[in-house]
Structure 1
Amino acid sequence: MCLAVPGKVVSISGDDPLLRKGKVSFGGVIKEVSLAYVPDVKIDDYVIVHVGFALSILDQEAALKSLAEFREMEAILSEHQL
C-alpha cells in the first residue's frame, strides 16, 4: 500500500520549473521535495507528497482534515498495541 501525505510548503528554491524544490513541513518535520508536478504552488500552500514529489495542491481545509484523520488513526493504533 502506498501513502501520500499532505504537508505545508515553507520555502521554494530554483527557477527552472523542472528543477524547483521546496521545503515542506509534515507536522514540524521538514523534508525537501520536488515541485516539478505543481508549477503553480506557492509558500503556505498544502501539497500531497509521495516518494519525494509534490503531486497536487490541496486547499487548506482538506489538508487539515486529512492531517486530523491521520492523528486519529495514530491514536487508535497506539491504543491497540500490546
Structure 2
Amino acid sequence: MCIGIPGQIVALHDSRRDHAWAEVCGLRREVNVALVATEGQPLSALLGSWVLIHVGFAMSLLDEQQAQDTLAALYAMQEVEPDVGLFMRGEGGDDALR
C-alpha cells in the first residue's frame, strides 16, 4: 500500500542538509524536505509546518486543518484496513514512512 501521512516539522537535522525531523503520530521521523523548501529561505522557515510524508520525503505542505482531517481519516481507516493500523503505530520495521 502506498500512503502519505501528515507530520509536523519539529527540528532541523544537525548534519544532513535538506533533512529535518517530523513528528508523525507521536513519533519523530527523519524526512527529506528538499521538495517543500522555498528557494532563498532558510530551512528553519519550515519549523512548525505540516507536510505530507511519503517514502521519507515531505511531498507537499498542508495547512493544519488538512493535516488533522487526513489523520482523522487514517485513524478511521485502521478499523477496516489492518495495514493502516500498523503504519499509524510505526510498526512494520524502519521503512514504515520511507
Coarse TM-score class (shorter-chain normalised): 0.7 to 0.9
Identity of aligned residues (%): 31
Larger Rg: 1
Q: Which has the higher strand share?
A: 1
Displaced runs of 4+ in structure 1, greater than 4 A? Answer: none
Q: Which residue of 1 aligns with 2:19?
A: 21
Report how many aligned residue pairs link the two structures: 75
Q: Which residue of 1 aligns with 2:72?
A: 68
What is the CA-CA distance between 1:77 and the residue it aligns to? 4.4
Which residues of structure 2 form unaligned runs of 5+?
Answer: 39-44, 83-98
Q: TM-score, normalised on structure 1?
A: 0.79
Which residues of structure 1 form unaligned runs of 5+?
Answer: none
Q: TM-score, normalised on structure 2?
A: 0.67
Cα root mean square deviation, aligned: 2.0
Q: Which residue of 1 aligns with 2:60?
A: 56
